[in-house]
Amino acid sequence: MTDTPDTTSSRRLDGNAAGGALAELFAADLTAARARCASCGTTEALGAHHLYADAPALVLRCPSCTEVVLRFASQEGRLLLDLRGASLLTVPVPPAEG
């Protein structure tokens, strides 16, 4: 993956083209997804993180350093996902049926 945009390429599409792939990601069981803490670098399954659910948002904290890794809230008909505390989120893909 590269972070440098190629603005002159005829291969560029708008963000709507990513809809199918992103739908696959967010339909997965995210408790098995692994998040790398942006603060300490520890990588653990989201199910192993410490959940604080008594705030306006669900807050997942790193089990090693206790920094916030993820925030999730529902607000005015929208779902909000804040991953700024995760430097990487890896979601396992189930094997294809067949």
What mean pLDDT is predicted for residues 8-24? 79
Q: How far apart are CA 72 and CA 79, in angstroms?
A: 7
pLDDT of res. 7? 60
CA dihedral of 28, 86, 13, 96, whole degrees rounded to 10: -20
Residue 1 has pLDDT above 80, yes or no: no
Look up residue 23 and give its two tokens: 């739908």
pTM of the model: 0.77
Q: What is the pLDDT of residue 19?
A: 83
Which of 7-16, 62-71, 81-90 has the lowest average pLDDT?
Answer: 7-16
Model pLDDT, residue 96: 78
Cα distances (angstroms) measured from residue 24 to each of 2, 34, 68: 22, 16, 25
What pLDDT shows up at residue 60?
95
